[in-house]
Amino acid sequence: MKVVQAYRYALDLTPAQERDVLAHAGAVRVAHNWALGRVKAVMDQRTAERTYDIPDEQLTPAVSWSLPALRKAWNAAKQHAAPWWRECSKEAYNTGLDALARALQNWSDSRTGKRKGRPVGFPRFKSRRRTTPSVRFTTGTIRVEPDRMHVVLPRLGRLKLHESARKLARRLDNGTARVMSATVRRDGGRWHVAFCVEIERADRTPAQPGTVVGVDVGITHLAVLSTGELVDNPRHLNDARRHLRALGRALSRKTGPDRRTGRRPSNRWQRAANRLARAHARVANLRRDGLHKLTTRLAARYGTIVVEDLNVTGMLANRRLARHIADAGFAEIRRQLTYKTGWNGGRLLVADRWYPSSKTCSGCGAVKIKLALSEREYQCGTCGLVLDRDLNAARNLAALAAEYDTAGSGPVAGRGADQKTRPSGQVAAKRQPGTASAGQTGTVPPQGGTTNRVLTRAH
């Protein structure tokens, strides 16, 4: 099974190497801004001409947004736009032009309705100080040195790694991996190199292929499994808030940049900003490490995992819970489970967004009309079941897998989700299953929905 995977390593750059990388990142920005200015000038000119009732066939010719067209235009104008273009690799300019081509295409697809999700705005010019320095290499010499502590990139030469790249080197030596690109990026005050690699992965089977587990994510506990296991929420951001607040106040007392007057930041402000960036990066790394360990363990053990389709963007609109929801990383848990279940030969089923997992009794199937977020125990008025709210939801999620297997891949009768919860005492009818095979993600729509607002689904 071939998959595309990334290997990310920290770099220990010398001052000269850091200047070279920053120069390449500046070349990325210059090419992007030049091409964006050209496209925007033509669009503004055509808009102005239309105000004079000029026919479309007589308007200024439009420019193509494709990467080959932008690259051709850049090569024709780079002698005047960037006389120093020979000092950097051609991959730097290609990185900026490719980013602009993708941004323009996303903007166009969003306007025409081809792209789902939130509206995408028109691309903006890249700022020198606000843009994260990054450059991607797709051609040329890209390799890991035999000592596995150094990598070689085009024009940048031999760069030292902060840790050994033995995992990637072993796959490259065995011929089971092929490097497609390498991206150098500064994140949290530190430089990293990320290799995009096509890997031939061996077929795997979960340790318990016949088991089903429902995963209910929340704030009190990061995840509650239908087996009864409670995964604690580490709350990394909450623990670091005092330190971040102190660093932020120290930064505010320094002389920072001012765009109105053109004032440049002082060296002390820059050092304070780097300290604050490193603190935020540490929180993000701790969160990422914990989520990877959790999702890897679940995907390697259970054959079927059932999760909810949560509207995380809508949940973040709740100002009382937004910080805690963002710190937990609900969407990241589902994203990692999506591809890790495929790697391990399992399957991931996604319950419909309006499935009342918290309001449904896992014992008899009765559904409550209302369930306040403050009620941490589920008390069924029909069968008398008293159970933890999150554990009850996890068991209901696990029960969806049995209904999916019973119904097969064909649809069953149902009116679909209408965001209304049936009165208590009525047994939940069959849900309408989706289709999912091993290593794929399926959606299991419910028979009925719930009036429980998405903002209160933090459990």
Catalytic residue among 216, 332, 375, 388: 216
Whether 410 and 435 have beta carbons less than 8 Å apart is answered as no
Residue 19 amino acid letter:
R
Please indicate, yes or no, whether residues 219 and 185 belong to a single structural domain of this protein.
Answer: no
Report, as an integer, the average pLDDT of 446-457: 34
Quick: pLDDT tens for 415-443: 344 455 555 444 433 333 333 444 455 55
Selected residue with higher pLDDT from 402 and 88: 88
Quick: pLDDT tens for 122-181: 999 999 888 999 999 999 999 999 999 999 999 999 999 999 999 999 999 999 999 999
pLDDT grade, residue 35 (50/70/90)? very high
Quick: pLDDT tens for 343-400: 999 999 999 888 888 888 988 888 888 888 888 888 888 888 888 889 999 999 999 8
User: Does position 302 have pLDDT exceeding 70, yes or no?
Assistant: yes
Please indicate, yes or no, whether residues 43 and 169 belong to a single structural domain of this protein.
Answer: no
Q: What is the mean pLDDT of the chain?
A: 87
Please indicate, yes or no, whether residues 389 and 304 belong to a single structural domain of this protein.
Answer: yes
Please indicate, yes or no, whether residues 66 and 145 belong to a single structural domain of this protein.
Answer: no
- Whether 20 is a known active-site residue: answer no
User: In this structure, is residue 275 part of a structural domain?
Assistant: no
User: In this structure, is residue 258 part of a structural domain?
Assistant: no
pLDDT at position 420, please? Answer: 53
pLDDT at position 425, please? Answer: 43
Of all residues in the chain, what percent carry a pLDDT higher than 90?
68
User: In this structure, is residue 66 part of a structural domain?
Assistant: yes
**Alpha carbon distance 291, 222 (integer Å):** 10
Whether 216 and 310 have beta carbons less than 8 Å apart is answered as no
Please indicate, yes or no, whether residues 330 and 437 belong to a single structural domain of this protein.
Answer: yes
pLDDT at position 259, please? Answer: 82
pLDDT at position 441, please? Answer: 52
Catalytic residue among 20, 98, 187, 308: 308
User: In this structure, is residue 339 part of a structural domain?
Assistant: yes
**Alpha carbon distance 35, 48 (integer Å):** 20
User: Does position 235 have pLDDT exceeding 70, yes or no?
Assistant: yes
Please indicate, yes or no, whether residues 8 and 39 belong to a single structural domain of this protein.
Answer: no
**Alpha carbon distance 19, 157 (integer Å):** 13
Check residue 329 and give left, alpha or beta (phi > 0: left; psi -120 to 50: alpha): left
Cα 96 off chain centre by:
21
User: Does position 410 have pLDDT exceeding 80, yes or no?
Assistant: no
Please indicate, yes or no, whether residues 96 and 146 belong to a single structural domain of this protein.
Answer: no
Report, as an integer, the average pLDDT of 278-296: 95
Please indicate, yes or no, whether residues 319 and 446 belong to a single structural domain of this protein.
Answer: yes
Catalytic residue among 390, 403, 405, 418: 390
User: In this structure, is residue 157 part of a structural domain?
Assistant: yes
- Whether 216 is a known active-site residue: answer yes
Task: Please give the radius of gyration of the chain, using alpha carbons only, rounded to the nearest integer.
Answer: 27
Please indicate, yes or no, whether residues 100 and 39 belong to a single structural domain of this protein.
Answer: yes
Comparing C-alpha atoms, which of 241, 252, 435, 457 is closest to residue 353?
457
Quick: pLDDT tens for 212-225: 999 999 999 999 99
pLDDT at position 443, please? Answer: 53
User: In this structure, is residue 290 part of a structural domain?
Assistant: yes
**Alpha carbon distance 427, 422 (integer Å):** 9
Whether 306 and 351 have beta carbons less than 8 Å apart is answered as yes
Task: Say how many domains are in the chain.
Answer: 3
User: Does position 339 have pLDDT exceeding 90, yes or no?
Assistant: yes
Whether 299 and 341 have beta carbons less than 8 Å apart is answered as yes
Please indicate, yes or no, whether residues 346 and 425 belong to a single structural domain of this protein.
Answer: yes
User: Which of 200, 225, 249 is a domain's end point?
Assistant: 200
Query: Helix H segments across 86-225?
Result: 90-112, 166-174
User: Does position 65 have pLDDT exceeding 50, yes or no?
Assistant: yes
- Whether 388 is a known active-site residue: answer no
Quick: pLDDT tens for 267-286: 999 999 999 999 999 999 99
Cβ within 8 Å of residue 230, ≥6 positions away: 221, 224
pLDDT at position 363, please? Answer: 86
User: Does position 450 have pLDDT exceeding 60, yes or no?
Assistant: no
pLDDT at position 369, please? Answer: 84
Range name among 288-292, 305-309, 412-416, 443-447 with the lowest pLDDT average:
412-416
User: In this structure, is residue 78 part of a structural domain?
Assistant: yes
Please indicate, yes or no, whether residues 56 and 161 belong to a single structural domain of this protein.
Answer: no
Strand partners, 213: 305
**Alpha carbon distance 230, 336 (integer Å):** 19
Selected residue with higher pLDDT from 404 and 255: 255
**Alpha carbon distance 315, 321 (integer Å):** 8
Residue 302 structural domain? 209-233+281-456
User: In this structure, is residue 244 part of a structural domain?
Assistant: no
Please indicate, yes or no, whether residues 182 and 328 belong to a single structural domain of this protein.
Answer: no
